[in-house]
Amino acid sequence: MPAPSRHNIMSTISQLLAASSLSLSIPALAKAPGALKTEVATAIDGEAKLVQEMVDSVFSFAEPGFQEVKTSAYLTAILERNGFNVTRGVAGIPTAWTATWGTGGPLVALGSDIDGLLGLSQTPGSPVIKPMVAGAPGHGEGHNSGMPLIIAAAIATKNVMEKYGIKGRLMLWPGVAEELLATKAFYVREGLFKDVDASIFTHVNAGFGTGWGDLGLTGMVSVQYDFHGKTAHGAAPWNGRSALDGVEWMNAAWNFRREHLPLTQRSHHVITNGGGQPNIVPGEASVWYYFRDKDFASVRTLYETGNEISEAAAKATGTTVTRRLLGYAAPNFGNKPLAEAAYANIEMVGMPQWSEADQPSRTRYNRLTASRPSPWTARSPPCRPLKHAAVRALVGPTISATSCGQYPPSPLAIHPTFPIRSDIM
């Protein structure tokens, strides 16, 4: 994943991966007969129009975390039409679901995120920021593309497994509210992955690849600090204690501490409640922090440092503070046999082939990025039909995936068929 991109900020963390216990022989999967892989690849290519429709439809729904209502209804209906059993509301989360197929044999879980982001409404196909509805949510992380690709791959794989009597089970699951780190830990706690033999996760990116071990991504704790003071009229502020002062002191102290934190950390905050109007001393104020680092021990240290600073800020301002843990995730740790199997498939399908028709958009993007300092001027234009090389990476049970563009650190990222990374859980 490219260095400090928008992508890293959220999804990296989020790819908390559900546990996978590998009892099946992955090298054996990688060695599945080439003819079968070719058959699956051809079938996926044949669904290019469906993939385009799914990617564009989910983009148009533009639903943020926990509000993926139309998205989930739409995607699960397609899966049901194609013979998958859908269970809705898993782990007590209304927009979460699983779609399973098959009996007996190894269980392979296929996941990808589906939530949008607040304030990222974007006109399809525009490589510059151009909201369709100013301030409305949108897909700025490419979460409109992963699940459609997995669905196309799963349907093709299922059909081939049925045709040749190959034993095995597939379970598709969505990363609901991934940007909030809000559901995957609950899935694990609910036992969603307890019978899973291999778990494969796909996320859009500007490169086509896979990896194993420490993937260089970050874990995270999401926590809200609520400061409690005493409200008072601004004309007599000595009667009050400002909870907002507590928040501001905490933020100032954290920013001073930042220089002395490990270079690997990243931390961010937003004030979610800063009071009502200037002439009222705010009795309540809140600030929401993300603490991120490369290993979980460091994430914990950041979290504990944040807690300490919040308490010091409360003391300094005559307020009190409570905190609410909103989510957390460990850094990714990729499975080596799965990554090697995926890489073998990547080699088989090869890199995307750029056509002459692709060149104008690449040139236009190059021009735009040369004149703008922002590393990501385009936000997830929806995809046009996916071409073979990228989609075919989904061949077989060892999956890598691909799709459309988003926050591009490279010109490839607005290419309609630019590939994405597959994360192996």
Please give the residue ranges that form the binding site for Zn ion (CB under 5 A): 11, 113, 141
Alpha helices in 82-172 (DSSP H): 146-164
Please identify, using beta-carbon distances, which residue of 45 and 113 lies nearer to Zn ion: 113
Q: How far is the CB of 204 from Zn ion (least distance, A)?
A: 7
Please identify, using beta-carbon distances, which residue of 178 and 358 lies nearer to Zn ion: 178
Q: How far is the CB of 406 from Zn ion (least distance, A)?
A: 9
- Asked if 399 and 133 touch (Cβ cutoff 8 Å), the reply is no
Q: How far is the CB of 27 from Zn ion (least distance, A)?
A: 30
Please identify, using beta-carbon distances, which residue of 146 and 411 lies nearer to Zn ion: 146
Q: How far is the CB of 203 from Zn ion (least distance, A)?
A: 6
Cα(366)–Cα(359) distance, integer angstroms: 10
- Asked if 116 and 138 touch (Cβ cutoff 8 Å), the reply is yes
Cα(81)–Cα(79) distance, integer angstroms: 5
Please identify, using beta-carbon distances, which residue of 246 and 331 lies nearer to Zn ion: 331
165 CA to centre of own chain: 34
Please identify, using beta-carbon distances, which residue of 286 and 402 lies nearer to Zn ion: 402
Q: How far is the CB of 403 from Zn ion (least distance, A)?
A: 12
Cα(111)–Cα(199) distance, integer angstroms: 8
Alpha-carbon distances, residue 12 vs 6, 56, 218, 267 (angstroms)? 10, 24, 6, 14
Count of other CB atoms within 10 angstroms of residue 204: 30
Please identify, using beta-carbon distances, which residue of 113 and 197 lies nearer to Zn ion: 113
Please identify, using beta-carbon distances, which residue of 281 and 401 lies nearer to Zn ion: 401
Strand ranges across the sheet with 169-175: 85-88, 97-101, 169-175, 107-113, 198-203, 421-424
Cα(184)–Cα(71) distance, integer angstroms: 18
In the bound state, the residue with its beta carbon closest to Zn ion is 11
| Planar angle of CA 181, 182, 185, nearest 5 degrees | 85
Q: How far is the CB of 12 from Zn ion (least distance, A)?
A: 8
Cα(111)–Cα(314) distance, integer angstroms: 42
Q: How far is the CB of 139 from Zn ion (least distance, A)?
A: 10
